[in-house]
Amino acid sequence: MHHPGNVFVVSAPSGAGKSTLVRRLVSTVPNLIFSISFTTRKPRPGEVDGLDYFYIDDASFEAMVREGGFVEWVEVYGYRYGTGRDWLNGVLASGQDVLLDIETTGALNLRRAIPDACMIFILPPSVAALEERLRSRGKDSDEQIRIRLEYALHEMEQYPAYDYLVLNDDLELAYRRFESIILATRASRERMAPAAQRILEGF
């Protein structure tokens, strides 16, 4: 998949604070588009169709799978989630940077399709903090929290596949770490070489 923009993939065990950090990042950093996934999960209170996710039913999801409509998709926590191929290609073709908030299995599949994707993992300070955050969010049932904690171990084990690990202890510090990674990646020599060449040619 050829693309002029940067692709950022962010994963974390559920409850680590990924959505909190990602929401702030995409509303603060210009030219960074949040990848809106498709899901069969129902919207949580406050979530908006077409903003947080595209909420679709099982049959529609199944049809998209059959038609090859997903770059990657998974089933976790009893629901299915996928990155729409047309949607992602459209954003990438526009040259803007895109940030995908996806779990680890999908992230590893995506990296196969886009090898230069920058992979970022959000770490909770501890297992106890993770559980406390899931409970304090107050948006999942006890059963959902139990399933998410079980999967958290699997998610944590995947951290070696990521390029950056952001510890989310203090939220402000964590945000600064996170934003710095985006800005530093954009400033890499590889990414900035065409701009440097244009300046050189002006001499």
Q: What is the rounded CA–CA span in Å between residue 46 and residue 43?
A: 8
Identity of the residue, 77 or 159, whose beta carbon is nearer to ligand 5GP in the bound complex: 77
User: What residues contact residue 155 under an 8 Å CB cut-off, 6+ apart?
Assistant: 11, 12, 13, 14, 103, 104
Q: Choose the contact partner of 137 out of ligand 5GP, ligand ADP, none; CB within 5 to 8 A by kind.
A: ligand ADP
Pick one of 1, 20, 105, 147: the residue that binds ligand ADP (CB under 6 A): 20
Q: Choose the contact partner of 168 out of ligand ADP, ligand 5GP, none; CB within 5 to 8 A by kind.
A: ligand ADP
Q: Quick check: helix, strand or coil at residue 186?
A: helix
Query: What token pair was written down for 108?
Result: 């590893």
46: left (phi over 0), alpha (psi -120 to 50) or beta: left
Q: How far is the CB of 102 from ligand 5GP (least distance, A)?
A: 4
CB 126, CB 133: distance < 8 Å: no
Residue of this chain nearest to ligand 5GP (CB atom):
106
CB 83, CB 72: distance < 8 Å: yes
Q: Choose the contact partner of 72 out of ligand ADP, ligand 5GP, none; CB within 5 to 8 A by kind.
A: ligand 5GP
Q: How far is the CB of 64 from ligand ADP (least distance, A)?
A: 24
| Residue range at the interface with ligand ADP (CB under 6 A); choices 13-21, 25-33, 57-65, 83-91 | 13-21
Binding site for ligand ADP (CB under 6 A): 12, 14-20, 133, 136-137, 168, 171, 174
